[in-house]
Amino acid sequence: MEIWPAVDWFDGQMVRLERGSYNRVTAYTDDPLALFQERYHALPKRIHLVDLKGAKDGSFSAWPLLERMARLGIDVEVGGGFRETQQVQKALDSGACRVVLGTRLIEDKAWAQDLLHQFGPHKLVASIDIKDGRAMLRGWTTNGLAADTEWFTLYHMGFTLCNITDISRDGTLIGLDPAFWRETGQYPGEIGAGGGIAHMEDLALLEAMGIGRAVIGKAWVSGQIDLHQCKGVF
């Protein structure tokens, strides 16, 4: 399984939200790369970087952190507020290996099709963040349509990469909801999983369901999962 340690960024700090709530924010450090070095004496090969303020406000702002990660040779999957084509281009030019897209990708299918034509499916990741079966938009503050409908539409357009987050468990360290992943794990395409991952057993369960990628956030930050135990992270 391909593991992506997550760095959630908000106002100059690495943070974690609980269940997607901006009212339940825990701040950890203003230098996540130093935290990796301190804890693991190495930098990971890949990082899932999300600008939470950008996701909420509609404009990615963590450019210095993205550029620093890229200069150090880290594969960065970056998301949070990418709602203009020029921002997607800037992220790729700044060293991101691919860009994660949610709100506008879901709301504006003509724009989604234009992105596919310009960048191709391997540089773009659809973000389907799910609460009560619906895709949540604008930093998880607005309800979208049924999540499966949203992804199937994008998949049939030509998107192949999809990151799914179970918002109800994100940032809680209570473990996966097997029923949730039995359903969403059957979605077509290359599915990445996040939300509630707390133990190595959760990763084994996802892998057994055929899910090939996972984003680990609070579990690595809290030390509940030792990334040294995850093959291929360093």
Please name the residue ranges forming H helices in 96-172.
103-107, 109-119, 147-157
Nearest to 45 by CA among 12, 72, 18, 64: 72
- Type of residue at 74: I
Nearest to 98 by CA among 147, 174, 161, 32: 161
Question: Is residue 8 among the annotated active site residues?
Answer: yes
Residue 183: other Cβ atoms inside 10 A: 14
232/213 Cα distance (integer angstroms) = 12
21/5 Cα distance (integer angstroms) = 20
**Which residue in 11, 114, 129, 132 is the catalytic one?**
129
Vertex 41: Cα angle to 40 and 42 (nearest 5): 85
Question: Is residue 129 among the annotated active site residues?
Answer: yes
Q: Which residues are catalytic?
A: 8, 129
